[in-house]
Amino acid sequence: MKKYAIIVAGGKGLRMGSDLPKQFLPIGGIPVLMRTLETFHRYDGEMEIILVLPVAQQAYWRDLCHTYSFSVPHTIADGGETRFHSVKNGLQRIDTEEEALVAVHDGVRPFVAQEVISECFREAFEKEAVIPVVDMVETVRLLAGEHSKTVDRNAYRLVQTPQVFHLRLLRKAYCQDYIPSFTDDASVVEALGKEVFLVKGNRENIKITTPFDIKVANALL
């Protein structure tokens, strides 16, 4: 079954405190986003990669590709108002009606393990909707107004990407009207009443969002 990857990169760098969007910041001398695309290309060189970028960032990205002689094949789609709309735009760049699997991945998660990508695709082939998760290691408290209480952390998981689905299922899900509770692709698919299955992610698969994350990323390299 053919595989696709939609890489969503719409960050503005606000929490990073940088004028440069976080996906373009260098780690180990190479922009974060290039490392992410390389990770998926290394997993499957035949996979079609669709990069979703805000229109205002696309010229800068092309300049970066020239500067770094970046050669991973990919198609660019326009970013939308929200992540939901960006993913929807990315899906529109897939013109096949055949059975296929599509992964949606955050552009600022360059450290997803090859084994996790492989497991997500393998399980999604049978189960149609699969996401990687990791255990909670901190104590968790539930807020209720001015009060809070400890809850069982074993009942919760932290969600990562790539989130992998049958293409037809994801297309149907993204025909729904947007609501604010659509914070990832699993939430969109669940709104159809479809069960989403979990696989084990890798803790190194951090989402680079803050200056501290950049320090962690360089340490991981």
The pLDDT, as a whole number, for residue 97 is: 87
Tokens of residue 63, six digits: 């300049």
User: Any bridge partners for residue 31, and if so which?
Assistant: 26
The pLDDT, as a whole number, for residue 11 is: 56
> How far apart are alpha carbons 135 and 128 in whole angstroms?
23
Half-sphere exposure of 145 (CA within 13 A, CB side): 1
Q: What is the pLDDT along the chain (221 residues), one digit of tens a residue?
A: 999 999 999 755 444 446 789 999 999 999 999 999 999 999 999 999 999 999 999 999 999 999 999 999 999 999 999 999 999 999 999 998 899 999 999 999 999 999 999 999 999 999 999 999 999 999 999 999 999 999 999 999 999 999 999 999 999 999 999 999 999 999 999 999 999 999 999 999 999 999 999 999 999 99
The pLDDT, as a whole number, for residue 130 is: 98
User: Where are the strands (E) in the chain, listed by range?
Assistant: 2-8, 26-27, 30-31, 48-53, 75-78, 100-106, 129-135, 140-144, 147-151, 157-159, 163-166, 197-200
Element (H, E) at 189: helix 185-190
Q: Are 33 and 108 in contact (CB under 8 A)?
A: yes
The pLDDT, as a whole number, for residue 10 is: 79
The pLDDT, as a whole number, for residue 211 is: 92
CATH architecture of 2-220: Alpha-Beta Complex (3.90)
| Residue extents of the structural domains in the chain | 2-220
pTM over 0.75: yes
**Alpha helices, DSSP H only, in 11-113?**
32-43, 55-67, 83-91
Half-sphere exposure of 88 (CA within 13 A, CB side): 16
The pLDDT, as a whole number, for residue 30 is: 97
The pLDDT, as a whole number, for residue 69 is: 98
Tokens of residue 82, six digits: 């929200």
The pLDDT, as a whole number, for residue 14 is: 43
